[in-house]
Amino acid sequence: MPAIDYLRISLIDRCNFQCQYCMPEGADLQYLPQAEWLTRAELRQLLQEVFMPLGFSNFRLTGGEPLVRSEVVDIVRDIATLPGVTDLALTTNAFLLSGLAQNLWDAGLRRLNISLDSLDPAIFDRIVGGRGKSRWPQVWEGIQAAHRVGFSPLKLNVVVIPGVNDHEVLDLAALTLDRTWHVRFIEFMPIGNDSLFEQKGWVDSATLRDRIRQRWGLNAGTVRGNGPADVFQIPGAKGTVGFISQMSECFCDRCNRMRLSADGWLRPCLLNETGQLDLKTALRQGISTAEIKHQVAMLLAEKPEINYKMRQSGTSGAYQRTMSQIGG
């Protein structure tokens, strides 16, 4: 088992998009009241007094859409300036990025993952929802702004859905030919989106890899990060292509992460709720951070067993909560 040193922190469960696969229409999306969010001070205290003493040094901010939280730049600065943080990254849909990229950089952020499921504005808009003016140009401008500011590695995440965007895989892979970007294809998961999943199904990484290999060839590649992606490079390309295969491959035995939801629930596994701890209530009830640390340490000790059980049961079931609610 790897050391568990990576915490994914959801800053908010709300989002300015409503992606078909993440917040499907009709899903029971009851947003948390703001009073339930971990405050900036609570988050910093938990990292400083609980997680970092237990060996966590890598953090990712996510959501919902983390850039929707108005304090996001301050939260980045709070974490980036904690002694002992070795990596801080953020996952975003990039809609608000062009106005924030420089501020995030100045606050100490160096790594960004951006979701970009399509290069076709009409398809993109159908995936992310909303009416009126296309959202694609503003997202593309956000990606360009991040590139100009110097974010590196800049990773683009693509959830591949048959009949929706799978025909764009080669075009998306081609972005890496003359850019230092890293395009990662993610297998579509049945999380809170049963009917779309049943209707569309999913496509496995091996199939996508073969399509790219047949077009250009593929070499092994590398890219910095904490992720479970298998990384390749098209010969002569500046960037890389990666595959995140949580449906076709089980990587529970390589899992080095825990998740903290916007309302302070610590979750040892994306796909089941075993052993969750309510850290916000503990803090607000005045329980000492020494005691909270002890409880988190016990949960950490249980994680290999939780991972083992997941490995035995497989990951092909459907899960009721959406990624935006869990903290993707």
- In the complex, the smallest distance separating the C-beta of residue 128 from ligand SAM, rounded to whole angstroms, is 9
Spell 105-139 as b/e; 16+ CB within 10 A means b: bebbbbbbbbbbbbbeeebbbebbbeeeeebbeeb
- In the complex, the smallest distance separating the C-beta of residue 37 from ligand SAM, rounded to whole angstroms, is 15
Site string for ligand SF4, 100-119 (x = CB under 6 A): ---------------x----
The number of residues that bind ligand SF4 (CB under 6 A) is 13
Distance between CA atoms of residues 13 and 326, nearest Å:
8
DSSP state of 49: I
- In the complex, the smallest distance separating the C-beta of residue 126 from ligand SF4, rounded to whole angstroms, is 13
Distance between CA atoms of residues 97 and 17, nearest Å:
14
> Per CB under 6 A, which of residues 184..203 are in contact with ligand SAM?
186, 188-189, 191, 193
> Of the candidates 8, 27, 51, 62, which one interacts with ligand SAM according to CB under 6 A?
62
Rg, the chain, Cα only: 19
Closer CB to ligand SAM, 91 or 118, in the complex: 91
> Of the candidates 7, 11, 19, 270, which one interacts with ligand SF4 according to CB under 6 A?
19
The residue range among 14-22, 81-89, 166-174, 252-260 that interacts with ligand SAM, by the rule CB under 6 A, is: 14-22
> Of the candidates 261, 315, 324, 325, which one interacts with ligand SF4 according to CB under 6 A?
324
**209 with 218: CB under 8 angstroms?**
yes
**188 with 161: CB under 8 angstroms?**
yes
**291 with 302: CB under 8 angstroms?**
no
> Per CB under 6 A, which of residues 95..134 are in contact with ligand SAM?
115
Task: Provide CB contacts within 8 A for 34, sequence distance 6+.
Answer: none
> Of the candidates 9, 15, 96, 310, which one interacts with ligand SF4 according to CB under 6 A?
15
Residue 142 touching ligand SF4 (CB under 6 A):
no
- In the complex, the smallest distance separating the C-beta of residue 93 from ligand SAM, rounded to whole angstroms, is 4
Distance between CA atoms of residues 200 and 189, nearest Å:
11
> Of the candidates 9, 11, 12, 17, which one interacts with ligand SF4 according to CB under 6 A?
17
CA atoms within 13 A on the CB side of 216: 20
Q: Select from 169, 184, 156 the least CA-distant residue to 242.
A: 184
> Of the candidates 5, 65, 78, 168, which one interacts with ligand SF4 according to CB under 6 A?
65
Residue 256 touching ligand SF4 (CB under 6 A):
no
Residue 299 touching ligand SAM (CB under 6 A):
no
